Structure 1
Amino acid sequence: MANDQQLKGLLTQDNCALSVDIKTEPISHYYDVQTRPFARGKFAQVRRCVHKETSRSYAAKTIKKRRRATDASHEIMHEIRVLLTTSQSPRIVTLHEVYETPTEFILMLEMAEGGELQRILDEDDSVTEHHCRRIVRQVVEAVQYLHRFNIAHLDIKPQNILLTNPFPAGDIKLCDFGISRILTKGAELREIVGTPDYVAPEILQYEPISLATDMWSIGILTYVLLSGHSPFAGDTKQETYCNITNGPLEFPSYLFNQVSEEAKDFIQQLLVRDPNGRVNCHDCLKHEWLTNNTETNGSINLSFLDVYRSYRCIKSDKFDLIIDENCITN
Structure 2
Amino acid sequence: MLEKRALREVEVLSRLAGHPFCCQLYDCFYSKCGAHIYMVLEKAEMDLNDMLSRMLNGHLAEDAVRFYAAELLLAIEHLHNNGFVWRDVKLENVLLRADGHLMIADFDLATPDPDLIIEEEEEEGKRGEDKVVHMTGTMDYLSPEVIQGGKHRTVSDYWAYGVLMYEIMFGQRPFAGWSQDRTLYNITNKTLEFPRWAEVSKDATNFVNELLRRAGYPRVDPMRRLG
Of structures 1 and 2, the one scoring higher in RCO (CA 8 A, sep 6+) is: 2
Cα distance in structure 2, aligned partners of 1:158 and 1:220:
10
> What's the offset of the Cα at 1:282?
2.8
Paired residues in the alignment total 208
- 3-state SS of paired residue (1:96): strand
**1:155 maps to 2:111:** no
Q: CA RMSD in A?
A: 1.7
> What's the offset of the Cα at 1:98?
0.3
* Cα deviation code 1:244-266 (max 9, x no counterpart): 01111011313x2x111110000
The equivalent of 2:35 in structure 1 is: 103
Q: Which has the larger radius of gyration?
A: 1
The equivalent of 1:139 in structure 2 is: 72
- 3-state SS of paired residue (1:244): helix
> What's the offset of the Cα at 1:203?
1.6
- The correspondence for 2:111, drawn from 167, 181, 189, is 181
Q: Residues 183 and 283 of structure 1: is their aligned pair in 2 closer, same or farther, counting only changes over 3 Å?
A: farther
One-letter identity of the residue aligned with 2:180 = K
For structure 2, the 5+ residue unaligned runs are 122-131
Q: TM-score, normalised by structure 2?
A: 0.86
- The correspondence for 2:143, drawn from 197, 200, 209, is 200
- 3-state SS of paired residue (2:214): coil
The equivalent of 1:216 in structure 2 is: 159
Greater helix fraction, Structure 1 or Structure 2:
2
Q: TM-score, normalised by structure 1?
A: 0.60
Question: What are the residue-to-residue correspondences of 1:21-40 with 2, within 5 Å?
Answer: none
CA contact (8 A) 1:162 1:173 kept: yes
* Cα deviation code 1:64-95 (max 9, x no counterpart): xxxxxxx4322211110000001021110000
- The correspondence for 1:120, drawn from 51, 54, 73, is 51
The equivalent of 1:82 in structure 2 is: 12
**1:253 maps to 2:196:** yes
* Cα deviation code 1:185-215 (max 9, x no counterpart): xx58445312111111122111122110100
**1:285 maps to 2:226:** yes
Greater strand fraction, Structure 1 or Structure 2:
1
Q: What is the identity percentage for the equivalent residue pairs of Structure 1 and Structure 2? A: 28
One-letter identity of the residue aligned with 2:150 = E
Cα distance in structure 1, aligned partners of 2:216 and 2:80:
15
Cα distance in structure 1, aligned partners of 2:164 and 2:5:
26
Q: Residues 229 and 78 of structure 1: is their aligned pair in 2 closer, same or farther, counting only changes over 3 Å?
A: same
For structure 1, the 5+ residue unaligned runs are 1-70, 287-330
The equivalent of 1:171 in structure 2 is: 101
